[in-house]
A and B are shown apart, each in its own frame.
Chain A
Amino acid sequence: MRRAALLWALIAALAGPAITLGAAPKASLPDVEDEVMCTSCNVALNVAESPQADRQRELIRSLIAQGMDKRQIKARLVSEYGEDVLALPDSSGVGLTAYAIPLGLVALLAAALALGLPRWRRRSPAGIGDNAAPKLSDEETRRLDDDLGRYA
C-alpha cells in the first residue's frame, strides 16, 4: 500500500512538469498581433478596432490554444487571409527581396561614393583653376579694358 502511494507520488512528480510544459503556450497574442495586419482596415492588428479585427484575434487565440507557435500561426493566417496579412515581409523566398533591394541600393551608393569622391577631389582644383582664369584673346583684353575705362 505504502509502496503504491510512493509510486504514484513519483509518477506525479515526474509527470507534473511535463504536463505543465506541454500545456504552455508557444506564442502570445501581443507577440503575434504586432506582426500581422487587420486586412480590411489596413493597419496593424494590435491597433485595429473593427469586427473583422476581433475575429482575427479570436482566430489567433484559438490557434495559440491549439499549441501552435508564432510561425505556424502566421502561416495559417496567410492561408486564411492571403499574404497581405503579414505586416513584415517574410525573411525568406520572395519576401527577402524587400530587405535585399534597399540594402543592395545602399551598398551600391556607398561603393559609388567611395570610388567617385577621391576622383572628384583630385580633379576639382584643376577644374576650378581653369574656370577661374579663362585665357582672353588680345581682342577680348582690349574690349574689356575699354569697357572698364568707361566706368572709371
Chain B
Amino acid sequence: MALIGLLAFGLVSRSDDTSLDQAVARGERPVAASRELPMLGEAGTRSVADLRGKVVVLNFWASWCEPCKEEAPVLAAAQQRLQREGAGTVLGVTWDDSTPDSLKFVAQQSIDYPNVRDVGKKLAREYALKGLPETFVIDARGRVAALYRGQISQRWMDDALDRAIG
C-alpha cells in the first residue's frame, strides 16, 4: 500500500504543472509565487513580494542560453519603459548558471536591472519552469498578468506591459 502511494506521488510530482498557464489563458490573475533570493553580484536579497505595488517582469535566464541573449534587447526596452513611467522593474532570475558566468553575461548585455540567483531552483519550480528563457509579467497587486515560455518578442512584451500597467 505504501509502495503504491509512493509510486502515485512520484508520478504526480513528475507530471507537468500547467495550472498557472491555464489560469492565465482563462484571463485569471493567479497570485505570483515569491521567494527571497540572493542578489547576483552584490549583497542582500530580493523577492517579488518586496516589489509589491510595482509591475515586475520576472525573467528566468542563463548565460549559456542562446535565446536569452536574443531577447535581451526586448527586456532592456521593457526596463526603460517601466523606469520612464515609474511603473516597476524587470527582475532577472538566473537558472543553473554560475555567478562568474552570469556576471559576464550582465556586463556583455549591459543589463541594468536587478538580478537574483535561484540556487536550488525553488522559485523555478513554483513557476513550473519548463525551459529557458521564460518570462512572467506580474501586476502591481502581485498577480501574474501574462507569461511566456520561450523567447519573447517586442510585441508580446508591449501587450503584456499594457495589460499589467493597465
Binding site for B on A (CB under 8 A): 39-40, 50-52, 54-56, 59, 62, 79-84
B119 touches A80 (CB 8 A): yes
Q: Which of B28-36, B91-99, B108-116, B137-145 is found at the contact surface with chain A?
A: B91-99
B149 lies within 8 A of chain A by Cβ = no
A81 touches B96 (CB 8 A): yes
Additional 10 contacts, C-beta under 8 A, given A40-B95, A81-B120, A84-B120: A50-B64, A51-B65, A52-B64, A54-B64, A55-B64, A59-B98, A59-B101, A79-B119, A81-B98, A82-B121
User: Which residue from chain A places its CB closest to the CB of B121 in the assembled complex?
Assistant: A82
A55 touches B63 (CB 8 A): yes
Q: A79 contacts which chain B residues (CB < 8 A)?
A: 119
Q: Please report the number of residue pairs spanning A and B whose Cβ atoms sit closer than 8 angstroms.
A: 38
Q: Is the interface of A mostly helix, strand, loop or mixed?
A: helix
Mind listing 17 A-B residue pairs with CB under 8 Å?
A: A40-B96, A50-B64, A52-B62, A52-B96, A55-B63, A55-B64, A55-B101, A56-B98, A59-B100, A59-B101, A79-B119, A81-B96, A81-B119, A82-B119, A82-B120, A82-B121, A84-B121
Lowest 4 A-B CB distances belong to which pairs?
Answer: A82-B120, A51-B64, A40-B96, A80-B98
Q: B119 contacts which chain A residues (CB < 8 A)?
A: 79-82
Q: B121 contacts which chain A residues (CB < 8 A)?
A: 39, 82, 84
Alpha-carbon distance A29/B101, docked complex (angstroms) = 19
Q: B99 contacts which chain A residues (CB < 8 A)?
A: 80
User: Which residue from chain A places its CB closest to the CB of B64 in the assembled complex?
Assistant: A51
Q: B66 contacts which chain A residues (CB < 8 A)?
A: 51
A83 touches B64 (CB 8 A): no
User: Which residue from chain A places its CB closest to the CB of B102 in the assembled complex?
Assistant: A80
Question: What's the least CB distance linking B100 to chain A, in Å?
Answer: 7
Question: What's the least CB distance linking A81 to chain B, in Å?
Answer: 6
Question: What's the least CB distance linking B132 to chain A, in Å?
Answer: 8
Question: What's the least CB distance linking B44 to chain A, in Å?
Answer: 16
Q: A83 contacts which chain B residues (CB < 8 A)?
A: 120
Q: A51 contacts which chain B residues (CB < 8 A)?
A: 64-66
B120 touches A55 (CB 8 A): no
Alpha-carbon distance A40/B121, docked complex (angstroms) = 10
